[in-house]
Amino acid sequence: MAATEISEKFPKGRNALATAARRRKQERVQTGPREILTPFRPIPLDVPEGMKPNEFFNSAENLKDLVHNNGLLQNPEGLLLYRKALGHSNEFDASVIYNTSRQILDPLGRPVRRTQVAAPVKKVWNRMNQVIIDYMLERYPDPTRHLVLAGEASLDATWPLTSPGVPSIRMLHNHFIVFDQAALRVAPLADTDNPNLTDGGQHSLFQAHMREVYRDFFAGLDLRILRPCTEGASRIALTGYPQGLPSWEIWGTDGGSAALKEVRFWQEYDTLLQGFIDFYRAFFSQVSTRNAPMPHDIHFPELVEERLLSNNDFLKAAKMVRERCITDARYANSIRWQPAFKQLIYRNDDGRLVVTISQNSIGNAITELLGVVVKRIPDAEAYARTEPALIAQLLEVRRRLVEADLGEGIATPYWAAS
């Protein structure tokens, strides 16, 4: 039977043939992480004398500037949609931040992950995520043409205080990004030894010494909509990333997008984060102190007791790290003793939505989980050529959010309030 006959009689066969053809085409392009150049317009922001930029970026004064120059929408819950002035992509790039800069003046006291957000705020946050991701999938329906991703990062004080790269805005925020696949295909290969791609060693620590323990622990979570990906299904063929991370497909006949409207999905999205935090805290408490008691406020105490604190491989890995910390000052200084993560939703090569979470250590950008290294360059003219189309999309997203009663528009020098 000819391939056309198969595809006419068996729609699933047609999808499989299309996928196989797409992968054969991708195999002709060298696989590896890409480094892309993203122009930006230099920000006319004066940092007060005697302050470092990251110190100023944490201030309420800086957040006021962000609202006035890049703010798109805000709501009574304190959630702010804004244009990324130093963006990852000029195709589509926006963030939603939980702006607590005036309510909580201590930067170390601000919520930095979903599990620290009050339920009424998180409910609105989830709806905003769903509306924005729905727009991205509608606007960019073809996975062969665009890489679509959305997610968040831990912003706690988990770096040594003297290290560069300490978070510039210590408040929880989500990223919504689209990359042009054609641009990625012609971009030069990135250095695979880039510490942000290798995750500074702790990624390999989890995967090399506790891979089965880690996956067995996650298998104990109550997940119904999120289903473990089959081998290789989570990987973007062009970049070869993500590498080694447990990933879950969002189940649904439409690729999983309808599930984003279900309360159950966001509960499971939180469950993954809670499970990760439990694993991380349980492990590094054992690294810090031999035979340490279970950390307080564990989300899944029975699972931690049964699958971690009684597991010889888990405790053996903790002993290995503990002993190295005692003798290797540089290694000990690089450890993040509190949970640090990147969690994202992205579309794979087959058009299905996937969730993954990284045991982060150095501060890699969320795009680097998918093998995209962004090099930002100051070039006002180049940015100006892409700005009108980018702003038009962000304003359409804002319109949909306002229509769904998720906030009110903000006026800036670049756009009106409505």
pLDDT per position as a tens digit, 226-277 = 999 987 899 999 999 988 788 999 998 888 999 999 999 999 999 999 999 9
Cα 200–Cα 206–Cα 208 angle in degrees, nearest 5 = 95
Determine the average pLDDT of the residues in 35-50. 87
Q: How far apart are CA 90 and CA 407, in angstroms?
A: 24
How many residues can be counted in the chain?
418
**Residue 380 corresponds to which amino acid?**
A
**Which distant-in-sequence residues (6+ apart) come within 8 Å of 310 by Cβ?**
none
Q: How far apart are CA 400 and CA 73, in angstroms?
A: 11
Q: How far apart are CA 326 and CA 269, in angstroms?
A: 36
Residue with tokens 């690089």: 334
C-alpha radius of gyration, the chain, whole number: 22
Residue with tokens 């999120």: 226
pLDDT per position as a tens digit, 181-232 = 999 999 999 988 776 776 544 446 777 778 899 999 999 999 999 999 987 8
Q: Where are the domains of the chain?
A: 29-190+371-418, 193-236+243-352
Q: How far apart are CA 90 and CA 385, in angstroms?
A: 10
Q: Are 111 and 56 in contact (CB under 8 A)?
A: no
Tokens encoding 353 = 């939505």
Which of 332, 175, 202 lies closest to 279, judged by CA?
Answer: 202
Q: In angstroms, what CA-CA distances link 172 with 78, 164, 264?
A: 11, 20, 22
CATH class label, 29-190+371-418: alpha beta
Long-range contacts of 303-312 (CB under 8 A, 24+ apart): 303/217, 303/220, 303/221, 303/275, 303/278, 304/278, 304/279, 306/220, 307/213, 307/216, 307/217, 307/220, 308/213, 308/217, 308/279, 308/282, 308/283, 309/282, 311/213
Q: How far apart are CA 257 and CA 353, in angstroms?
A: 7
The answer to whether residue 9 scores a pLDDT higher than 50 is no
Question: What pLDDT does 197 receive?
Answer: 78
Question: What pLDDT does 168 receive?
Answer: 57
Question: What pLDDT does 24 receive?
Answer: 56
Q: Are 43 and 85 in contact (CB under 8 A)?
A: yes
pLDDT category at 55 given cuts 50, 70, 90 is confident
The least confident of 19-33, 130-144, 258-272 is 19-33
From the centroid of its chain, how far is CA 384? 27
Grouping H, G, I as helix, E, B as strand and the rest as coil, residue 228 is strand
Q: How far apart are CA 411 and CA 395, in angstroms?
A: 11
- Asked if omega into 242 is within 30° of 0 (cis), the reply is yes
* Residues 136/137/142/146 CA torsion (nearest 10 deg): 30
Residues facing 250 on adjacent strands: 226
Question: What pLDDT does 37 receive?
Answer: 95
Q: How far apart are CA 404 and CA 266, in angstroms?
A: 18
The answer to whether residue 2 scores a pLDDT higher than 70 is no
Q: How far apart are CA 109 and CA 114, in angstroms?
A: 14
**Which distant-in-sequence residues (6+ apart) come within 8 Å of 91 by Cβ?**
146, 178, 179, 180, 386, 390
